[in-house]
Chains A and B, each alone.
Chain A
Amino acid sequence: MTRQKRSHHKLKRAIAPYLYLSPALLIIGLLMLLPMVTVIGYSFQNSAVLRRDPSFAGLKHYQAIFADPVFWASLWHTLYFTCMSVVFHMTIGMVFALMLNSDRINPTLRNILRVLYILPWLFTAVIIAVIWRLLLEPNGVVNSVLMQMGIIGSKVEWFSSTATALHAVTFANIWAGYPLFMVSLLAGLQGIPKDFYEAADIDGAKAYQKLIFITIPQLMPIIISISLLDFIWTMQVFPLIWITTGGGPIYSTEVLSTYTYKLAFSSYNLSQASASAVVILLISLGLTLFYIRYQKAR
């Protein structure tokens, strides 16, 4: 082989991996990076999209949304909605996973429960929203059952009252999202060697000590990974809230995604909407970096 041929061969080998990656990179660039950069650009322009020659606005739109009390309310609602969802997804997912992993439950019942518990995962956000709107409407099943049990005295307007709307959408989201934790934790539980528990039995560990000293530390990598992903995904939830409450009543369920959507498509203030979207992007990016660093550390 001549020197020229050899260097040509080397070049081909060096380029090959990038050629394989190029279709995916092209799609990501066109469908993700380009819109992202465009939106960042819009957030620094006056009358973005609406005018042919928008002027540079500097940080004006950021100042405007930071001065808007609805933005701060949305941020607080987003954090409440996200934190409660993640904590309860994890707690319920863990309880159900422990139940499904237990030898004490009859195997047939366990299989039935496995299907039942995973059901919420099969529904799309729209179906979940419709189900919960029907269940929680003033004349719905939930009110009727609670009244019959004597827990509430009169019909509660779950999605229409400022006192209950945020809790109601959070509840619906918790119901919809726990199966991810349940399935992941169940897989993790099934991977914990039985010997660990037997050794602990001999050492005199009680059930709660086995949970604290063996199960949870063994599941910790899964708990952290799934919690971070769930946090990132839940922060961006839009359809469930949009279909159930639309962010109302009186902004009581307004979250960053609905706030941004309204700015863009109700007020047609696309510049401020872009600034709000960039804030969401930065929060998500922070969490994603944290997630990547955690994964690398493992």
Chain B
Amino acid sequence: MAEVILENICKTYGNSFRAIDQLNLSVKDGEFLILVGPSGCGKSTALRMIAGLEDITSGSLRIGGIDVVDMPPKDRDIAMVFQSYALYPHMTVFENIAFSMRLAGKPKAERKKRVDEIAKTLQLTSLLDSKPANLSGGQRQRVAMGRAMVREPAAFLMDEPLSNLDAKLRVQMRAEITSLQKQLGVTTIYVTHDQIEAMTMGDRVAVLKGGVLQQVDTPKRLYESPVNAFVAGFIGSPSMNLFEATLTGDELTSGTFAVRLQDAAFVRRPALRSYAGRKVVFGVRPEDLYDSSLESGRKYQTIPAKVTSIEELGSEHIVHLSIDAVRVDSGDPDAVDDFGLASNAVARFEPISAVHSGSEIRVAVDDAKFHFFDPETHLAI
């Protein structure tokens, strides 16, 4: 087990494309850190640099206090779980798990003892003689974990290990990996593009965009206090609604509606006063928008909206709305335009809500939960 420290890590490819720019990250001993970001943000490149599978252009990387920049992967005392699992199809589960021990010339009895222990932990004992082709996705994933565990490494590196599983199995494996990591206490760096994995699995989450680290924090703080509009839009599902508005005194006006901000908003963000008379980006999460006809929404101010479509999920209704306001792009390249041009906001209503598609409604907004960003820099105010 060890601390992993990245200092000013840069990765530039031959065509001068900079995949990682000045990445500084400190992963504590035993910590479960998630690297998350949209496609092409450099998260896998960063992980592969830690593994030694990609050269580091500049910067320093220390694992367990040792500078490993010039070390080959085998000497870095890490184990990696690949997105494809990289299980050797011609080897049995036993041979796959024991492969590193075989390479290290460990005696057969020692290999068997260790593999048996791991197989027991991962419930693979009955599958040790099977070939990967005969295993289910979840079982293969466990074998890949077993192959990483057998080395007793200082750190686990996982590159989107759940992306090949179906949704149901992914939920189960998410819990299994998390509890296994807690049980083993091994420092783990886990790459994913799925922000639900990021929020539910890690002790801390590092959000990357375009090779630049945006924010590293606990999932809760990342959700509640995003440092910029990108993090605000990327973390949370459905994404935060971001709109352009003008701040006039303590009133936020956008299109045909206005929302009066409480003093607390200015107390929490003194800098917001300086935006008086100027444009500002405000964000509101779907769960902070309410159906004004229900009890839960009665205490808030309301704004007019038109319901464009509804997804009834049983426990909640995801309501797509058209609000008279200019939507702001968070900068997430993976973000999908919400049901075309008709809708520009998403709300999460209680399942008892009776709104229906096409109806003109009043949406209650919890302005205390608003997030504010600079319209130019998109940094949080």
Chain B nearest CB from A7 CB (Å) reads: 44
Residues in B38-68 with C-beta less than 8 Å from chain A: 51-53
Say whether B86 contacts A204, CB under 8 Å: no
Contact of A198 among B86, B90, B99, B151 (CB under 8 A): B86
Residues in B63-89 with C-beta less than 8 Å from chain A: 72-74, 78-80, 82, 84, 86, 88-89
Looking at A23-31, A57-65, A111-119, A212-220, the stretch in contact with chain B turns out to be: A212-220
Which residues of chain B are near A220, meaning CB under 8 Å? 90
Docked CA distance A200–B80 (Å): 10
Contact of A203 among B52, B53, B84, B100 (CB under 8 A): B100
Docked CA distance A16–B73 (Å): 60
Residues in A193-223 with C-beta less than 8 Å from chain B: 193, 195-196, 198-205, 209, 213-214, 217-218, 220
Which residues of chain B are near A213, meaning CB under 8 Å? 88, 99, 103
Instruction: Verify if B104 is at the interface (C-beta below 8 Å from A).
Output: yes
**Interface residue SS majority, chain A:** helix
Contact of B80 among A196, A202, A218 (CB under 8 A): A202
**Interface residue SS majority, chain B:** loop
Chain A, residue nearest B150 (CB) = A203
Say whether A199 contacts B151, CB under 8 Å: no
Say whether A204 contacts B104, CB under 8 Å: yes
Chain B, residue nearest A198 (CB) = B53
CB within 8 Å for A193 and B86 given contacts A203-B103, A204-B103, A204-B104: yes
Chain A, residue nearest B78 (CB) = A202
Say whether B99 contacts A218, CB under 8 Å: no
Say whether A204 contacts B90, CB under 8 Å: no
Q: How many A-B residue pairs have CB under 8 A?
A: 55
Contact of B79 among A202, A217, A218 (CB under 8 A): A202
Say whether B74 contacts A201, CB under 8 Å: yes
Which residues of chain B are near A193, meaning CB under 8 Å? 84, 86
Chain B, residue nearest A217 (CB) = B90
Say whether A201 contacts B100, CB under 8 Å: no
Which residues of chain A are near B52, meaning CB under 8 Å? 201-202
Chain B nearest CB from A198 CB (Å) reads: 5
Chain A, residue nearest B95 (CB) = A213
Contact of B86 among A195, A205, A209, A217 (CB under 8 A): A195
Chain A, residue nearest B84 (CB) = A195
Which residues of chain B are near A199, meaning CB under 8 Å? 80, 82, 86, 147
Chain B nearest CB from A196 CB (Å) reads: 6
Docked CA distance A151–B147 (Å): 53
Chain A nearest CB from B250 CB (Å) reads: 57
Docked CA distance A220–B90 (Å): 10
Which residues of chain A are near B79, meaning CB under 8 Å? 202
Say whether A205 contacts B73, CB under 8 Å: no
Which residues of chain A are near B80, meaning CB under 8 Å? 198-199, 202
Chain A, residue nearest B151 (CB) = A203
CB within 8 Å for A205 and B84 given contacts A198-B53, A217-B90, A218-B90: no
Say whether B74 contacts A203, CB under 8 Å: yes
Chain A nearest CB from B88 CB (Å) reads: 6
Docked CA distance A235–B296 (Å): 87
In the complex, per-residue mask of B251-278: 1 if CB is within 8 Å of any chain A CB, else 0 = 0000000000000000000000000000
Which residues of chain B are near A203, meaning CB under 8 Å? 74, 99-100, 103, 147, 151
CB within 8 Å for A205 and B103 given contacts A195-B82, A198-B82, A199-B82: yes
Most chain B beta-carbon neighbours within 10 Å: one of A196, A199, A220 = A199
Chain B nearest CB from A217 CB (Å) reads: 4
Which residues of chain A are near B74, meaning CB under 8 Å? 201-205
Chain B, residue nearest A220 (CB) = B90
Which residues of chain A are near B53, meaning CB under 8 Å? 198, 201-202
Docked CA distance A167–B79 (Å): 51
Say whether B100 contacts A204, CB under 8 Å: yes
Docked CA distance A205–B105 (Å): 11
Chain B nearest CB from A68 CB (Å) reads: 46
Which residues of chain B are near A204, meaning CB under 8 Å? 74, 100, 103-104
Which residues of chain B are near A198, meaning CB under 8 Å? 51, 53, 73, 80, 82, 86
Say whether B73 contacts A201, CB under 8 Å: yes
Docked CA distance A15–B74 (Å): 63
Docked CA distance A195–B151 (Å): 18
Say whether A196 contacts B104, CB under 8 Å: no
Chain A, residue nearest B53 (CB) = A198
In the complex, per-residue mask of A21-52: 1 if CB is within 8 Å of any chain B CB, else 0 = 00000000000000000000000000000000
In the complex, per-residue mask of A123-151: 1 if CB is within 8 Å of any chain B CB, else 0 = 00000000000000000000000000000
Say whether A196 contacts B88, CB under 8 Å: yes
Residues in B317-353 with C-beta less than 8 Å from chain A: none
Docked CA distance A200–B99 (Å): 9
Docked CA distance A21–B232 (Å): 65
Chain A, residue nearest B75 (CB) = A204
Docked CA distance A90–B108 (Å): 33
Chain A, residue nearest B51 (CB) = A202
Chain A, residue nearest B102 (CB) = A213
Chain B, residue nearest A205 (CB) = B103
Most chain A beta-carbon neighbours within 10 Å: one of B72, B80, B147 = B80
Chain B nearest CB from A219 CB (Å) reads: 10
Pairs of residues from A and B, 10 with the lowest C-beta to C-beta distance, nearest first:
A204-B74, A195-B86, A203-B100, A199-B86, A217-B90, A202-B73, A201-B73, A195-B82, A195-B84, A198-B53
Given A200-B99, A201-B53, A202-B80; 5 other pairs, CB 8 A cutoff = A198-B73, A202-B51, A204-B103, A205-B74, A213-B88
22 A-B Cβ contacts within 8 A? A193-B84, A195-B84, A196-B88, A198-B73, A198-B80, A198-B82, A198-B86, A200-B99, A201-B72, A201-B73, A202-B52, A202-B53, A203-B74, A203-B99, A203-B151, A204-B103, A205-B74, A205-B103, A209-B103, A213-B88, A217-B90, A220-B90
B interface, CB within 8 angstroms of A:
51-53, 72-74, 78-80, 82, 84, 86, 88-91, 99-100, 103-104, 147, 151
